Structure 1
Amino acid sequence: MSSIDAQEIAKFEAMAAEWWDPEGKFRPLHMMNPVRLDYIATQIAAEFGRDRRAPRPFQGLRVLDIGCGGGLVAEPMARLGAEVVGADAAEGNIAVARLHAEQQGLRVDYRATTAESLAGAGEVFDVVLALEIVEHVADPPAFIATCRDLVRPGGLVIVSTLNRTAKSFGAAIVGAEWVLRWLPRGTHDWGRFITPDALAAMAEQAGCAAVDRRGMVFNPVGFGWRLSDRDLSVNYVMTARRSPQTTD
Structure 2
Amino acid sequence: MTTTIDAAEIEKFQAMAAEWWDPNGKFKPLHMLNPCRLDYITTQIAAEFDRDLTGDRPFAGLRLLDIGCGGGLLSEPMARLGATVVGVDAAARNIPVAQAHAMQSGLEIDYRHTSAEDLIAAGEPPFEVVLNMEVVEHVSDPLTYLTACHDLMRPGGLMICSTLNRNPKSFVMGIIGAEWIMRWLPKGTHDWSKFITPDELFDLLTRAGLRPEDRMGFVFNPVTWTWHLSERDLSVNYVTASVRPD
Normalised-by-shorter TM-score class: over 0.9
Superposed CA deviations along residues 95-131 of structure 1, whole A, max 9, x for unmatched, are 1000000000001000000000111222210011110
Counterparts of 1:122 and 1:207 in 2: how far apart (Å)?
A: 19
**1:39 alignment partner in structure 2:** 40
Structure 1 segment 57-206 matched on structure 2, within 5 A: 57-123=58-124, 124-206=126-208
1:227 aligns with 2:211: no
TM-score when normalising by structure 1 = 0.98
**1:240 alignment partner in structure 2:** 242
Counterparts of 1:121 and 1:63 in 2: how far apart (Å)?
A: 17
Counterparts of 1:206 and 1:243 in 2: how far apart (Å)?
A: 11
Aligned partner of 2:104: which letter?
A: Q
Aligned partner of 2:106: which letter?
A: G
Stretches of structure 2 that go unaligned for 5 or more consecutive residues are none
Counterparts of 1:206 and 1:144 in 2: how far apart (Å)?
A: 6
Counterparts of 2:131 and 2:28 in 1: how far apart (Å)?
A: 20
TM-superposed CA distance for 1:206, in Å, is 1.2
SS at match of 1:91: coil
Aligned residues: CA RMSD: 0.5
TM-superposed CA distance for 1:223, in Å, is 0.3
SS at match of 2:23: coil
Superposed CA deviations along residues 107-160 of structure 1, whole A, max 9, x for unmatched, are 100000000011122221001111011000010011110000000001011101
Structure 1 range deviating more: 231-240 or 121-130? 121-130
Q: Which runs of 4+ in 1 moved over 4 A?
A: none
SS at match of 2:76: helix
SS at match of 2:93: helix
Aligned partner of 1:170: which letter?
A: V
Aligned partner of 1:121: which letter?
A: A
Counterparts of 1:199 and 1:96 in 2: how far apart (Å)?
A: 31
Q: How many residues align structurally? A: 244
Counterparts of 1:113 and 1:180 in 2: how far apart (Å)?
A: 32
Aligned partner of 2:170: which letter?
A: S
**2:52 alignment partner in structure 1:** 51
SS at match of 1:159: strand
TM-score when normalising by structure 2 = 0.98
TM-superposed CA distance for 1:243, in Å, is 1.1
TM-superposed CA distance for 1:238, in Å, is 0.3
Counterparts of 1:34 and 1:118 in 2: how far apart (Å)?
A: 29
Aligned partner of 2:46: which letter?
A: A
Stretches of structure 1 that go unaligned for 5 or more consecutive residues are none
